[in-house]
Amino acid sequence: MEDISKLRDEIDDIDNKLTKLFEERMNIVKRVAEYKKNNNVPVLNSNREEEVINKNIKNLKDKTLNQYAREYLDSMMTISKNYQKNYLNSLSVKDNSIETDESIKNISKDSILGFPGVPGAFSEEALYSFFGDGITAYNVEEFEDIFIEIVKGTIKYGIVPIENSSTGSIADVYDYLNKYESYIAGEICLKINQNLIGIKGASIEDITEVYSHPQGFGQSKHFLKKHSNWKLIPMSNTSKGSEYVKEQNSKNIAAIGSLRASQIYDLEIIKSNINSNDLNTTRFAVISKELVLNKDNDKISIVLSTEHKAGSLCNVLKHFAENSLNLLKIESRPIKEKPWEYYFYIDFEGNLLDEKVKDVISSLKECCSYIKILGNYKKYSE
């Protein structure tokens, strides 16, 4: 019969070796992060991760360990990604030059600014509302494309909808803020009036199909309930629906979108202001490749995760209360690699140049398993 103490000694010896190898691996991970920052390469590379996992699993002699090895390697990949994101975030805070809000709004007219969708999109309207006329606007297909083009340097700033007063947060945008090395540099709120749009001469009685972004459907749900026989077909953007209606030139299809979209595509408003909430408003975030620091900024956005145990989130939130930092919003999003664990997106009042805020961020780094600063900017006010 084997001696349990000797077996434990063997495990301790292996753990000691693993710890040394872990530290060695993380040092290389940091160098990879520096390469990615210098070459505008995103942290996430799912194909590379799967390739590494499969290659190492093949080295197992005992194939009954395949699933356990996969879980172990997958966990190691997650730790490496979080370490890279934290490291890159610390570089951004430390190395960024201080820009002013005026430098954002009074940018060179040669700068290219991006919005998702096609002309007539609410995002395009928000872009012009924030930056003013005379800008060079560049449209992309999807919300994620804004972040991709920002990282690549194709566009100077981009704008994306982040939250609606009727339907809540736009989850994908929060995920992209965490995924890509980009930051919120400003925000603007836009009152949204949704309209039922069709070709000239079309009436409500003609309609069988309606095209819009899911947010457009959600914001108009009470109106749509009265027409439950209509087939609702989601599009990547509300303005894409209007563009499609124009292309099809059929009285049987309609779009939900803006007055401006109807004018651009020479369509008619069949029914105006169909949104359920008369105060329907969308908050848009201005996205930048660099973290903008300025003494007048008064709102900070961060994302973090905690240990999966009782009291962890409470321990995080106490740092805000103890330092009299007002929380504006907290929202959770699932961590895809860890079922039933969550990222917490937090907005609070403050400035990253303030010593008190710096102390809170340092404290959060100690008690969180992951944290990333998403931006420091001025709160929108009319």
Asked if 132 contacts 105 with a C-beta cutoff of 8 angstroms, the reply is: yes
What is the reported pLDDT for 277? 86
Residue 215 pLDDT more than 50? yes
Residue type, 308: H
> What tens digit of pLDDT does each residue of 58-85 get?
888 888 888 888 888 888 887 887 777 7
Of 79, 95, 111, the one marking the end of a domain is 95
Helix (H) or strand (E) holding 241: helix 238-248
Q: Which residue has the higher pLDDT, 304 or 85?
A: 304
Number of domains within the chain? 4
Does 147 participate in catalysis according to the annotation? no
Tokens of 148: 């991709």
Same domain assignment for residues 374 and 245: no
What is the reported pLDDT for 299? 96
Same domain assignment for residues 139 and 279: yes
| CATH number of the structural domain spanning residue 375 | 3.30.70.260
Same domain assignment for residues 63 and 212: no
What mean pLDDT is predicted for residues 46-61?
82
Asked if 137 contacts 113 with a C-beta cutoff of 8 angstroms, the reply is: yes
Range of the domain at 252: 199-273
Catalytic residue among 115, 130, 147, 284: 284
> What tens digit of pLDDT does each residue of 354-377 get?
999 999 998 898 888 889 999 999
Tokens of 147: 């972040």
In angstroms and rounded to an integer, the radius of gyration of the C-alpha atoms of the chain is 25
| CATH number of the structural domain spanning residue 243 | 3.40.190.10
Q: Which residue has the higher pLDDT, 339 or 248?
A: 248
Does 282 participate in catalysis according to the annotation? yes
| CATH number of the structural domain spanning residue 62 | 1.20.59.10
Residue 218 pLDDT more than 70? yes
What is the reported pLDDT for 99? 46
Q: Nearest 5°: phi and psi at 255?
A: -130, 160
What is the reported pLDDT for 41? 64
Residue type, 254: A
Same domain assignment for residues 83 and 12: yes
- This model's pTM is above 0.95: no
Same domain assignment for residues 184 and 136: yes
What is the reported pLDDT for 106? 57
Percent of the chain with pLDDT over 70: 90
Residue 303 pLDDT more than 80? yes
Same domain assignment for residues 80 and 129: no
Of 273, 306, 322, the one marking the end of a domain is 273
Name every residue whose Cβ is closer than 8 Å to that of residue 371 and which is 6 or more positions away in sequence.
86, 89, 302, 303, 304, 305, 361, 364, 365
Least confident window among 37-51, 213-227, 254-268: 37-51
Tokens of 38: 């210098």
Same domain assignment for residues 9 and 90: yes
What is the reported pLDDT for 96? 41
Same domain assignment for residues 232 and 182: no
Catalytic residue among 282, 306, 344, 348: 282
Same domain assignment for residues 90 and 104: no
> What tens digit of pLDDT does each residue of 129-144 get?
998 888 889 999 999 9
Q: Nearest 5°: phi and psi at 262?
A: -65, -35
Mean pLDDT, rounded, of the chain: 87
